[in-house]
Amino acid sequence: MQHFMRTVIKIIFTLLISFNIFGQTENINSGKYHPAKEVFESKYKKKEYSKFATNQIKIENNKVILDNLKFIEFDEKSDTKTRLILSNGYLDPYKINGSMNLKILKIDELPLLNPNPQTKRFKFWIFPIQNQNSSELEKKLSNRVNPSEYYFELQNKYADENTSFEDFIKNAKLTFLIFGTIII
């Protein structure tokens, strides 16, 4: 009898795992999506931003240098999507927070908020970097512990559901960028 019960329990457990009962599914009204959804619904205004030309972008280790003046640091463990977006010059530190440099933790795609195959929406966290020329206010802000969360949108009018992420990024345009919140 004991052997029979173990077998039944193993079968039930296997079935539950195969039906993904224990797995969490993403919900557009909670978790990482909730604040982003509110921002895209209430503050969205499409605008086309310029990006840095390829000859203005240099990549050194975990840093993207833009126009020899600005830079964006990223975590050395960043995924290829984060590196690809940053290396294509879409994000300008000065347009993000008025700084010449910043550190981005990770760029996270929000696929449930993408309205169509030509649009991809993202969020990222930044940590300001202090340098010798920083004003007192910049120094105080960069000493804070909590990161800021920003949202942005890339659009590629040539993309469809079969377009690779790399091809999407190569032909995209930045159409929305906004501060979201401070992460607590």
pLDDT tens digits, 114-128: 999 999 999 999 986
Query: Does the structure show a pLDDT above 60 at 24?
Result: no
Please state the rounded mean pLDDT for residues 55-72. 94
Query: Does the structure show a pLDDT above 80 at 181?
Result: yes
Phi, psi of 19 (to 5 degrees): -90, 5
Whole-model pTM: value is 0.79
pLDDT for res 22? 46
pLDDT for res 23? 47
pLDDT for res 147? 87
Which tens digits make up the pLDDT trace of 125-152? 998 666 556 566 655 655 567 889 999 9
Mean pLDDT of all residues belonging to the chain = 85
- Cβ atoms of 169 and 85 closer than 8 Å: yes
Beta bridge partners of 149: 125, 181
> Residue type at 111?
P
Query: Does the structure show a pLDDT above 80 at 27?
Result: no
pLDDT for res 15? 52
Percent of the chain's residues with pLDDT above 90? 60
**Lowest-pLDDT range of 13-22, 37-46, 88-97, 111-120:** 13-22
- Helix segments in 101-177, DSSP class H: 136-142, 165-170
**Residue 181 has which token pair?**
């919140």
